[in-house]
Amino acid sequence: MLSMAGAAALLPFLPMTPGQILLNNLIYDASQTAIPSDNVDPDVEAQPARWDVHAIERFMIVFGPVSSIFDYLTFGALLLMLGTSQAAAPAFHTGWFVESLFTQILVVLAIRTQLSPFWKSRPSKQLAAAIVAALAAAVLIPLSPLGSVIGFGALPWQFWPMLAVFVVAYLTLIEIVKFFFDRREVRRPDAIARLARGAKLRAGVSNKAVAGAQRR
């Protein structure tokens, strides 16, 4: 939303058309339907979890602008490559469509775990397959005959190495931000209290198990 609002105010054309945005969301959401099958890290399973809306708000405030930084970098690079004329709009739409999907789909691999680097925690086969399928769709749809119907245009070859650099840089920055964000979160008073309650609960369960074994 930050990226779209800023770009719409500065560009002579929309960064993506409404139909392209809906397609973008459909591909992304389809890839996320595999999340219920995902593996969970043992340290997360070791303590009770509690739904924390305020933690989600803090997450959005920190990680949302990081994503927008790379959107704006993509905007700038595409404008340098394509120019600002209306004729450049279809190729521009394609560039942001692909970059947006690559970053928002691949970042799931980083934020699904507190481990760093994120590849220490492997996703489920279903989630990995859904991610690969969504990335393939992001590339193939604009290149297919359907792409011209939706309003996509051809990209210069320079876009693809730029995309690879931006994706690697984005995931690297996300890992750095995640490291400091998680360290700050675990030091919050409510998080410390929650850990203490979890420790007491595990100790109580352990003591009951010992007492039961002794009675047997």
Q: Across the 216 residues of the chain, what is the mean pLDDT of every consecutive 10-residue run?
A: 79 89 96 93 79 88 90 91 90 94 95 90 95 97 93 94 95 94 79 53 52 56
Question: Two tokens at 44?
Answer: 């997360």
Q: Which pLDDT score is estimated for 175? A: 95
In this prediction, residue 140 carries a pLDDT of: 96
Q: Could you count the other beta carbons within 10 Å of the beta carbon of residue 76? A: 10
Q: DSSP letter for 123, please.
A: P
Q: What is the pLDDT of residue 203?
A: 55
Contact 152, 87 (CB under 8 A): no
Which domain covers residue 23, as residue numbers? 2-215
pLDDT at 197: 55
Q: What is the CATH number of the domain that holds 141?
A: 1.20.1110.10
96 in Cβ contact with 166 (< 8 Å):
no
Residue with tokens 């297919």: 144
4-10-14-16 Cα dihedral, nearest 10 degrees: -40
Structure tokens at 73: 């970098």
Instruction: Say how far apart CA 3 and CA 74 lie, in whole Å.
Output: 10
Domain count, the chain: 1
